[in-house]
A and B are shown apart, each in its own frame.
Chain A
Amino acid sequence: MGSDKSIELSPRQVVPTASRVRARGRRWPALAVLALVFIGGGVVVTKFLSSAIDYYCNVDEVGVKDGCEAGRRLRVQGNVEEGTVASAGGVTTFAISFNGVEMVVRYVNGDPGGIFQECVPVVVHGRLVDVTAADGTVTLVFEGDHVDVKHSNEYAAANDDRLDQAEAACSLPA
Chain B
Amino acid sequence: MRRTEIVSTNTGTTGTTFTRWFGLLAVVALALVAVFGLVLSPPDVVQGESVRILYLHVGTVWVAYLAFVVTAVSSAAYLWKRSSSLTWDRVAGASAEIGVLYMGVTLLTGALWGRLSWGTFWVWDARVTTTAFMFITYIGYLAVRGLGGSHRQRARRSAVVALLAVLEIPLVHFSVELWRSVHQDASVAGRTTDVTLDGLMLFTLLLSTVAFTLVYVWFVLHRQRVLAMEDALDDRGLDYALIERRREGAMR
For the complex, is A54 an interface residue (Cβ under 8 Å from B)?
yes
Separation in Å of the B27 CB from the closest CB of chain A? 28
Complex: how many Å from CA A52 to CA B128?
A: 9
For the complex, is B34 an interface residue (Cβ under 8 Å from A)?
no
Complex: how many Å from CA A54 to CA B125?
A: 8
Contact (Cβ within 8 A) B241 A17: yes
Q: Which of A34, A151, A164 contacts B117 (CB 8 A)?
A: A151
For the complex, is B170 an interface residue (Cβ under 8 Å from A)?
no
Chain A 14-70 interface residues, beta-carbon cutoff 8 Å to B: 15, 17-19, 22-24, 26-27, 29-31, 33-34, 37-38, 40-41, 44-45, 47-48, 51-56
Q: Which of B116, B140, B197, B238 contacts A19 (CB 8 A)?
A: B238
Complex: how many Å from CA A169 to CA B44?
A: 11
Chain B 107-138 interface residues, beta-carbon cutoff 8 Å to A: 115-120, 123-126, 128-130, 132-133, 136-137
Given A51-B125, A158-B48, 16 further pairs, Cβ under 8 A: A17-B241, A18-B3, A18-B237, A18-B240, A30-B148, A37-B136, A41-B137, A48-B124, A55-B180, A112-B119, A116-B119, A147-B119, A148-B123, A153-B185, A153-B190, A155-B198
Binding site for B on A (CB under 8 A): 5-6, 8, 15, 17-19, 22-24, 26-27, 29-31, 33-34, 37-38, 40-41, 44-45, 47-48, 51-56, 77, 112-117, 120, 123, 146-159, 164-165, 168-169, 172
